Structure 1
Amino acid sequence: MILTNRIKLSIMMFLEFFIWGGWFVTLGTFLVKNLSASGTQISMAYLTQSIGAIIAPFIIGLIADRYFSAQKILGVLHLAGSVILWFASQTSTFDGFFPLIVVYMILYMPTLALVNSVSFRQMKNPALEFPPVRVLGTVGWIVAGLTIGYFGWEQTSQLSLTFKMAAAASALLGLLSFSLPPAPPTQRNANVSIKEMLGLDALKLLNNKSYLLFFLSSIAICIPLAFYYNFTNLFLNEAGMKSAAAVQSLGQVSEALFMLLIPVFFLRLGVKKMLAIGMLAWVLRYIFFSFGNVDQNHWMLIVGIVLHGVCYDFFFVTGQIYTDSHAGERFKSAAQGMITLATYGVGMMIGSLISGPIVDAYATSSGHNWAMIWMIPASVSALVLLLFIAFFKDKKIPAKATENSKLT
């Protein structure tokens, strides 16, 4: 890949995840401290990402694969999103905040598939070339968390500033998107059906039994993931951890390290072991959270956070590459949109609907009984892992990764 393209894609990834990490990590704490929200309302706010993820494949299938270049759509969505985020920072009630964040996530979630699509279109060997580009997204998330910790916005109840910070970054990415490497539509002149226009043709991937099981596992494993995204920051703040958002960025440091090692792990382990190790890390993470505290077992909280690198990279990044290797040239954008629907859409939606009432059920006079709460996602993750190991059969390594391993 041309160096200038690699730099542009890396900046794109940095800003894409800086925007998300800039407000998403501390959302639960913001809602409790600024808007006096309940656990169920927190889950409803996080549920908006699932709404956006479910709509995302239709935006990608209708537009990105057919009418407009992916990088131009990316620019328009981020410019519009910056305006919404700015207005969200001004709200003082949950009823005023919720509709804004619904609209924002409908705009933002398609961009997760778009940045992948723009990247993959420039690469001859995604298994080797994608991780070094995608790792800049992790760095962006880290910088967002460190920024929040540096200014002490959690301790001073100024988390509304996280939305303004994200709005500025979104405006910047929106403008920069128009200078990204071109990713023109692949089906501009094709005679296609309504099913194809909606991006549903990517469902053909599910005819492969191994991919179908991966798809279903992606949905199931994201149910416990909702507990982590929705309530970890609130949990750490209630536990008494200082600068919790900054400490949580250790998870992204771990993510960055393992991201760079993914090509090596692909060659050594193959798809099945990569995915299984990722799910096992989720089980361990929640167990550590259940027994951890800021005193004698502080190390458990840190290890649980650091395990995020294995949790995310071994399952999500591996899954994105696995999906790209199975998708045909015509439907690469739609395929990435479909896996976004499975994970951040259906799976996280179910998890958000379940996690909020559970957290409310374990509320106490001083906060929550987190030891009991975290054992629930640990149990769900363990069940998904066992079923995946028993039935998933595809152990292959992407051919290009094997062919080019001698170059790294």
Structure 2
Amino acid sequence: MNVKFRLTLLNFLQFFVWGSWLISLGGYMIVTLKFSGVEVGSIFATMGIASLFMPAVMGIISDRFINAEKVLGFCHLAGAALLLIASRVTDYPSLYIIMLFNSMAYMPTIALANTVSYNALEKNNLDIVKSFPPIRVWGTVGFIAAMWMVDFLGFTKSPMQLYVSAGAAFLLGLYSFTMPKRPPLKEGDAKSFASSIGLDAFVLFRSRKMAIFFIFSMFLGAALQITNLFGGSFLDDFKTTYPDSFGVQHPNLLLSISQISETLFILTIPFFLQKFGIKNVMLFSIVAWVLRFGLFGIGNPGSGLYLLVLSMIIYGMAFDFFNISGSLFVEREADPKIRASAQGLFMLMTNGLGAFFGGILSGWVVDFFTENGVRNWHNIWFTFAGYALVLAIVFPFIFKYKHEKYESLENLTH
């Protein structure tokens, strides 16, 4: 079978597993299980906790002891079992522990899937830079397909979404074992734990410019998961005022516009980098977060549906522009000897610390504006928009970086 097709299927399933529950689990926990905002936020924050160390741990295991494709398979099989258990649990303490272990199993697989893909392409003498991006796009397609499947089956407020994810994880676990072998590296080629999570790149904090960048990366990382956490429950709360509206009937379909936008905005990044430079593209991302949350605050699934759709479209700019331009900034500014570690530190600040604090703090905000079980979504979204607005105002004044012409994004794939 064609290796590109096999890797396309691998990436499709990789993100299908995540898309089955990431957008709708928050609504299930709030609406069906009656969890508080803090409880929901803390469960989503487990992904941030796991991202701090598990990708490095599993990376070292695959680099030194066990084939990467086998580690990938074992992680997904473990995740499938944990998701099945989670589907039967209805109390917060138990679900928190199970989802923490599930995050520890899943989060390393994102990097492992890339490693397995790169290895397979290399073994087949294919150019990774040219061949992998079109393959990786199918991961986003898989994420969207999972959201749509869960929505059409009526599982957005049901534990059945976890069964869908578990089934996909089980298939992917078995499928991973069939991928081209990627054996452990030679001893001198394997990275240390510190290098894997970017600790040896902490020397970059000596530079004021880099320190400011990484701190803002953490603050922006906190914004990334907020609508994933509460988008579903937000739309569900309109079931009394707009019971037959598209957004209430098909919340995942509406929210999936965000992921579609994400894939499209990636194509615009070369133009924006060339025209405006890295610093301005980062600023556009922060302003886009203000609009993302603000439009949620004034929109609704009825007469204000167009505002929600516009918010979904803007998400692509908010998500892509900082992640891609930020990665390019790290690639240009870090010493080549610690460039990989610097990228690891960037991910640690955004998907680790940022996601953790974002989950916890956003839960507090939701509970603060909740009275007698009724959530004041206007105040909730405007609070998040205000948070992003403060970042947008402060960023251009304290982050000093000269505009440079964009030349190539090739380094971002290494």
TM-score range normalised by the length of the shorter chain: 0.7 to 0.9
Matched, 1:306 2:313: yes
Change (3 A) 1:322 1:14: farther
Matched, 1:200 2:199: yes
CA distance in 1, matches of 2:7, 2:369: 44
Match of 2:242 in 1: none
CA distance in 1, matches of 2:333, 2:128: 12
SS in 1 for 2:249: coil
Change (3 A) 1:393 1:263: same
Paired amino acid for 2:401: K
Change (3 A) 1:266 1:49: same
RMSD: 3.3
SS in 2 for 1:23: coil
Shift of 1:267: 4.1
Q: Is the 8 A contact 1:128 1:401 kept in 2?
A: no
Match of 1:139 in 2: 141
Shift of 1:386: 3.1
SS in 2 for 1:393: coil
TM-score of the pair, normalised by structure 1 = 0.85
CA distance in 1, matches of 2:179, 2:336: 20
Write the mapping of 1:377-392 to structure 2, written as runs, cut at 5 A: 377-390=384-397, 391-392=399-400
SS in 1 for 2:45: helix
Change (3 A) 1:381 1:257: same
Shift of 1:239: 2.4
Match of 1:165 in 2: 164
CA distance in 2, matches of 1:78, 1:116: 15
Match of 1:102 in 2: 100
The CA deviation string for residues 214-241 of structure 1, in whole angstroms up to 9 with x for no partner, is: 3222101122334322111111111232
Q: Is the 8 A contact 1:131 1:260 kept in 2?
A: no
The CA deviation string for residues 228-276 of structure 1, in whole angstroms up to 9 with x for no partner, is: 2211111111123221112111111111222344445444444333322
CA distance in 2, matches of 1:193, 1:276: 34
Q: Is the 8 A contact 1:47 1:352 kept in 2?
A: yes
The CA deviation string for residues 94-143 of structure 1, in whole angstroms up to 9 with x for no partner, is: 23222110100011112233334455665898776654333222211111
Change (3 A) 1:164 1:332: farther
1:14 to 12, 15, 27: 12
CA distance in 1, matches of 2:302, 2:170: 42
Match of 2:244 in 1: none
Shift of 1:151: 1.2
CA distance in 1, matches of 2:9, 2:78: 19
CA distance in 1, matches of 2:97, 2:116: 30
Matched, 1:393 2:395: no
1:280 to 282, 287, 309: 287
Match of 1:291 in 2: 298
Shift of 1:41: 1.0
Shift of 1:193: 6.9
Paired amino acid for 1:385: A
Unaligned regions of 5+ residues in structure 1, if any? 404-408
Match of 1:23 in 2: 21
The CA deviation string for residues 60-92 of structure 1, in whole angstroms up to 9 with x for no partner, is: 563344444444322221121111111111213
Matched, 1:250 2:252: no
CA distance in 2, matches of 1:210, 1:118: 35
Match of 1:406 in 2: none
CA distance in 2, matches of 1:127, 1:41: 41
CA distance in 2, matches of 1:176, 1:325: 37
CA distance in 2, matches of 1:256, 1:192: 32
Match of 2:378 in 1: 371
Question: 14-23 or 3-12: which moved more?
Answer: 3-12
Match of 2:57 in 1: 59
Question: 160-169 or 287-296: which moved more?
Answer: 287-296
SS in 2 for 1:296: coil
Shift of 1:54: 1.3
Matched, 1:349 2:356: yes
Paired amino acid for 1:170: A
Q: Is the 8 A contact 1:117 1:333 kept in 2?
A: no
TM-score of the pair, normalised by structure 2 = 0.83
Change (3 A) 1:19 1:278: same
Change (3 A) 1:176 1:296: same
Stretches of 4+ aligned residues off by more than 6 angstroms: 123-128, 191-194, 325-333
CA distance in 1, matches of 2:176, 2:333: 27
Paired amino acid for 1:76: F
Q: Is the 8 A contact 1:135 1:260 kept in 2?
A: no
Paired amino acid for 1:44: S
Q: Identity over the aligned pairs, expressed in percent?
A: 31
CA distance in 2, matches of 1:398, 1:177: 37
Match of 1:73 in 2: 71
The CA deviation string for residues 141-179 of structure 1, in whole angstroms up to 9 with x for no partner, is: 11111112211223xx5x211111111111222233334
CA distance in 2, matches of 1:370, 1:397: 41
Question: 48-57 or 196-205: which moved more?
Answer: 196-205
The CA deviation string for residues 176-207 of structure 1, in whole angstroms up to 9 with x for no partner, is: 33344565555623598774477633445556
Match of 1:221 in 2: 220
1:38 to 36, 39, 53: 36
CA distance in 1, matches of 2:202, 2:210: 10
Change (3 A) 1:6 1:83: same
Change (3 A) 1:35 1:351: same
CA distance in 2, matches of 1:8, 1:325: 33
